[in-house]
Chains A and B, each alone.
Chain A
Amino acid sequence: MKLEDIARELGLTELTPKVTGNSEADIERGYASDLLSDVLAHAPAGGVLVTLQVHLNVIAVASHAELAAVIFAGDRRPDDEVCGKANAEGVSLFVSPADTFDVVGRLYALGVKGNHA
């Protein structure tokens, strides 16, 4: 499913409108974790990450893992420095008021799968 369609279906708020390269991207895989070392090791390239971790490192890790987007759950919002870095790195950031479990469940229902599907 296209990232922009996912964002619409899940009612996500976009934090990085300047990042346009990902909206048409077809998102097939996702990962959920709040430990960035774990994300670094396991997140699937081209996928979407669902996390509570708003530390600046999430952008470096997302970039390194070649993620298309990060969805912050539980209405957790990264600060301006993080959004700026995301713009620079071409990582799309979104926020959902729903908690991680619900966000992941809804992504899964839309056809976005994990590493072991």
Chain B
Amino acid sequence: MTPPAIVRRALAEGLGMIAICDHNSARNAAAVQEAAGTRLAVLAGMEITTLEECHVVALFPDAEAARAAGAEVGATLGQVDDGYQEFFGEQHVLAADGSERARETLALATATTLDVDAAVRLVHGHGGLAIAAHIDRRSFGVTSQLGLFPADAGFDAVELSRHVAPGSPIEAEFAVHGLPFVHSSDAHYQGDIGAARTAVHCERATFAELALALAGARGRSVGDA
């Protein structure tokens, strides 16, 4: 999953925009944006693991906002130890050409000390969009962890995994509080890129347009119109 490979795969899959959402870190986003150039829109994001072990997908206006948010999230994490590295391997920070730039020593695969409300506030505080990740899944989704969807948390959208087809009857079962659906591959491996996608009806592939589409504002929208 080097930046060039991700970009190549996304383009081959016919995707117009992707988001890089490493666990609890945004350190690899800028490199993918650089590798993509003007060929593919790449949003800088991260997937935060909250205190309750819920996943929150965060998308930011730019890599700098993502980096700042990532630093705040990182401040709540511990350092890796031998046991962690044996299980999870090395945490690489890559350059645009795929070469290794640095090693991350924060234990990104662990839960932060941010509860769901705090995580959403942090994301919004950096101008980002907060999406309740894969709420159809039985682990790490806000509904599985918290029993009931946290309606007051302030989510901008809910995400469904590749296992729920857009427009299917199952999708309707996850309708919560009028929030829009996004469908994501949650690709952890190259082969999964494009396994799910969200139709975004907007003027151009940018963060600002996506934000409008999720809000259903100014004629922009997501999903089948």
Contact = CB atoms under 8 A, between A and B. Distances in A.
A115 interface: no
Contact of A60 (B52, B145, B148): B148
A53 interface: yes
20 contacts: A35-B144, A35-B145, A35-B147, A36-B145, A36-B148, A37-B138, A37-B144, A37-B145, A38-B144, A40-B147, A40-B148, A53-B52, A53-B145, A53-B146, A55-B51, A57-B146, A57-B147, A60-B147, A61-B147, A61-B148
B123 interface: no
Interface string A81-117: 0000000000000000000000000000000000000
Interface in B43-93: 51-52
Given A55-B51, A55-B145, 8 more contacts: A36-B148, A37-B147, A40-B147, A53-B146, A55-B52, A57-B148, A60-B148, A61-B148
B150 interface: yes
Contacts of A39: 147
A83 to B, nearest CB: 15
Contacts of B116: 55
A59 to B, nearest CB: 11
Majority secondary structure, A binding face: helix
Contacts of B51: 55
Interface residues of B, number: 12
Interface of A: 35-40, 53, 55, 57, 60-61
Nearest to A65: B147
Interface in B84-141: 115-116, 138
A39 B148 CA distance: 11
A15 to B, nearest CB: 18
Contacts of A36: 145-148
Nearest to A57: B146
4 nearest A-B pairs in the assembled complex, by CB-CB distance:
A36-B147, A57-B146, A61-B147, A40-B147
B143 interface: yes
A61 B147 CA distance: 7
Contact of B115 (A55, A60, A61): A55
Nearest to B116: A55
B150 A57 contact: yes
Nearest to A40: B147
A1 B161 CA distance: 45
A35 B139 CA distance: 9
A40 B143 CA distance: 11
A60 B149 CA distance: 11
Contacts of B148: 36, 40, 57, 60-61
B21 to A, nearest CB: 23
Nearest to B146: A57
B162 to A, nearest CB: 21
A60 B146 CA distance: 10
